[in-house]
Amino acid sequence: MINLTAEKQFETIVEENNLLKRAVVTQRKRQRESEDQSQELQNLRQMVTQYQEQLRTLEVNNYALTLHLKQAQQNNSSTPDWFHPDVF
């Protein structure tokens, strides 16, 4: 009788141990996924920062080109029609 009870307790302990092992595996998997997502988020934030910097540079360049174009158009309008700018 005692042997049967001990055997049942042993089976219960083995089942609980297996359950805990599966829980640990699941927890480790979730932890890895969370770490991967955190790394991806960090990479995306870094990309956003780089793109924002690139956008600012392009906006400044665009503004400078717009000013140069306006200046060239103003200079061009004061040039007589017979003077072709590509010749000189």
pLDDT digits (tens, 9 = 90+) for 49-75: 999 999 999 999 999 999 999 999 998
Residue 70 in domain: no
Domain presence at residue 43:
yes
pLDDT at 83: 60
Mapping DSSP onto H, E and C, the string for 3-70 reads HHHHHHHHHHHHHHHHHHHHHHHHHHHHHHHHHHHHHHHHHHHHHHHHHHHHHHHHHHHHHHHHHHHH
Look at residue 19 and tell me if it is in a domain. yes
Q: Is residue 30 part of a domain?
A: yes
User: What pTM was estimated for this model as a whole?
Assistant: 0.60
| Domain membership flag for residue 29 | yes
pLDDT higher than threshold 60 for residue 22: yes
Query: For residue 15, is it within any domain?
Result: yes
In a domain, 25, yes or no: yes
Domain with 17, as residue range(s), is: 1-58
User: Is 52 inside a domain boundary?
Assistant: yes
Into how many domains does the chain fold? Answer: 1
